[in-house]
Structure 1
Amino acid sequence: MAHIRSSERYGGIAQALHWLTAILVLAAFIAAEGGPESRVYSPERDGQRILHESLGLAVLALVAVRIVWRRLDRVPDHGPMPRWMTLSSALTHGLLYLLLFAVPLTAIFGAWWQGHALNTYLFAEIPAPFAPFHDLGDALTEIHETLGDVIIWLAGLHAAAALFHHFILRDKVLVAMLPRRK
């Protein structure tokens, strides 16, 4: 299979998937209302909740595409790094991928177990496929809110590490994920 990126850079598809994921996660975080169930599901907040749920489902779909693409594409060679950097990079990426699944899934199942349908711009209403179990739904919703904060902090750490590589170590780690300059 031909790869469309050099050994030092990610290809355009991998870059687009990465940056689109980052934008969607940040937008979903900003659009999140949070708070008690009565507030989140109040009619006057429907627009914001539907936006948040739509963005969350888009993140879930996009991360599935990213996983498939990552299996097909190669990761650029960043050159030799200390073992702790290699391990921390692998751990951070693994946690980010785990959270990219866990955050939307805890929201989906939390809403369904609370007895709420999902409402999105694309699919309209997606009803719960099972009977409500409100206590479990509440617990999952709290986990969702916590994981939403965690993914933002971890993404910030990921971005700080990329900037550290670029400005302090002066290597090609950040440049590998940026579009080429013409």
Structure 2
Amino acid sequence: MNNNYPKPMIIMHWITFVLVVIVYLTSGDPTRTGLQGQIHVIGGISIFILFFVRLSVVFLYKRSIPQNEIINPYQIKLFKIVRFTLYVSLCVVPIAGWLALSSFTDNFQVFSLNLPLLSSVREVKYIGQMHQFLGNFFITVVGLHACAALIHHFIFKDNVLKSMLFKKMK
């Protein structure tokens, strides 16, 4: 039995991680932060697109996903809750960001292209706060996800963490 995730899933996982870190580090009002705001918006759009690519990859490689030994039924439930929360966040946080951007301005360009923004949410102040809260909540869950991987590696001494790492080339 293969204990490793398929390479496309590993690649999607780590690209998503890098994009989430970049977006988190460049957070702020994109209409006021210049290049930093551009990077934040491009990263958010990339995460949103990658979410759908990632779902397709998961569907295609569903049978190749390793079935790691689970310690107890509570761990199974917690795994499902965290996975669901992470996947929903990969979709909802960028949408909330788009709505927040729409509430800040009626015109925003990325690569000299105007983003389609919603004029119906213009001047709705709480949307930006909602996006920020959801983003911070997502980062917290990502942190817990990383801690769980480290606990599996160092305490349970199973292959959960190793299954998502690239193997050395021979």
Give me the TM-score of the superposition, normalised by structure 1: 0.84
5 Å-filtered alignment, 1:47-62, equals 47-62=35-50
Is the CA contact 1:111–1:117 (under 8 Å) kept in the aligned structure 2? Answer: no
Q: CA deviation at 1:135?
A: 4.6
Aligned twin of 1:95: 85
Aligned twin of 1:14: 9
5 Å-filtered alignment, 1:20-169, equals 20-34=15-29, 40-42=30-32, 45-74=33-62, 75-121=65-111, 124-128=113-117, 130-136=118-124, 138-169=125-156
Alpha-carbon distance in structure 1 between the residues aligned to 2:103 and 2:92 = 16
Q: Identity, % of aligned pairs?
A: 24
Give the gaps of 5 or more residues in structure 1: 1-5, 35-39
Alpha-carbon distance in structure 1 between the residues aligned to 2:121 and 2:167 = 51
The letter for the 2-side match of 1:126 is L
Q: CA deviation at 1:131?
A: 2.6
Pairwise CA RMSD of aligned residues?
Answer: 1.7
The letter for the 1-side match of 2:28 is E
**Aligned residue pairs, count:** 167
Q: CA deviation at 1:144?
A: 0.4
Alpha-carbon distance in structure 2 between the residues aligned to 1:20 and 1:65 = 12
Secondary structure of the 2:119 match is coil
Q: Quick one: which of 145, 156, 163 aligns to 1:176?
A: 163
The letter for the 1-side match of 2:80 is A
Secondary structure of the 1:8 match is coil
Q: CA deviation at 1:102?
A: 1.0
Give me the TM-score of the superposition, normalised by structure 2: 0.90
Alpha-carbon distance in structure 2 between the residues aligned to 1:59 and 1:15 = 15
Q: Deviations over 1:3-50 (max 9, x none)?
A: xxx63110110000000001100110001125xxxxx523xx221111
Stretches (4+) displaced over 2 A = 113-121, 130-136
Q: CA deviation at 1:110?
A: 2.1
Q: CA deviation at 1:148?
A: 1.0
Is the CA contact 2:19–2:47 (under 8 Å) kept in the aligned structure 1? Answer: yes
The letter for the 2-side match of 1:157 is L
